[in-house]
């Protein structure tokens, strides 16, 4: 139905429809790329809690524990 309606409109209206589709595509692509680059940037960071975790072997091996 949309294809039939789009085919029935004139050349100028078709260009306007194409422009509208392009304008609506910009925010979606921007959000996708922002999330993608954020994931790439922070993929190897260790959280503070994981960094502070110690194992029993670390406690025994530390000089302060002796």
Model pLDDT for residues 9-64, shown as the tens digit of each residue = 888 888 998 899 999 999 999 999 999 999 998 887 766 656 566 666 655 655 65
Residue 55 pLDDT? 62
Residue 60 pLDDT? 62
Residue 65 pLDDT? 52
Are 31 and 20 a contacting pair, CB within 8 Å?
A: no
Residue 53 pLDDT? 62
**Radius of gyration (Cα) for the chain, nearest Å?**
28
Q: Which residue has the higher pLDDT, 4 or 49?
A: 4
Find all residues with CB under 8 Å of 59, minimum gap 6, and list them. 65
């Amino acid at each position: 139905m949309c294809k039939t309606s789009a085919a029935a409109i004139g050349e100028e209206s078709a260009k306007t429809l194409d422009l509208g589709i392009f304008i609506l595509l910009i925010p979606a692509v921007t959000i996708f790329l922002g999330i993608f680059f954020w994931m790439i940037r922070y993929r190897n960071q260790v959280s503070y809690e994981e960094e502070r975790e110690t194992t029993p072997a670390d406690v025994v091996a530390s000089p302060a524990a002796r």
